[in-house]
């Protein structure tokens, strides 16, 4: 099963205002580990929830 790893350590948005409005920050709070793995189905579900306005969007942007 393919997974998508989101790491706050490699995100250019880490520590910005966008970070506070990212679905990963909301999912990981209050413990906030520095990475999170989504399966393809989970990522699709999060995207659908965000499109419906039920959760913040994924703001992660990988540093080049």
Q: Tens of pLDDT along 7-64?
A: 778 888 888 888 777 877 777 666 666 677 888 898 889 889 889 988 877 777 787 6
The reported pLDDT for the residue numbered 51 is 92
pTM for the predicted model, two decimal places: 0.61
Domain ranges for the chain, please list them: 3-51
Q: How many residues does the chain have?
A: 64
- Between CA 48 and CA 23 the distance in angstroms is 12
Angle among Cα 6, 7, 8 to the nearest 5 degrees reads 120
Q: What is the pLDDT of residue 52?
A: 93
| pLDDT surpassing 70 at residue 1 | no
């Amino acid at each position: 099963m393919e997974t998508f790893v989101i790491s706050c350590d490699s995100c250019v948005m880490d520590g910005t205002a966008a970070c506070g409005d990212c679905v990963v920050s909301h999912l990981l709070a209050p413990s906030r580990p520095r990475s999170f793995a989504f399966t393809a189905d989970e990522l699709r579900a999060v995207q659908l929830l965000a499109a419906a306005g039920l959760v913040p969007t994924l703001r992660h942007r990988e540093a080049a």
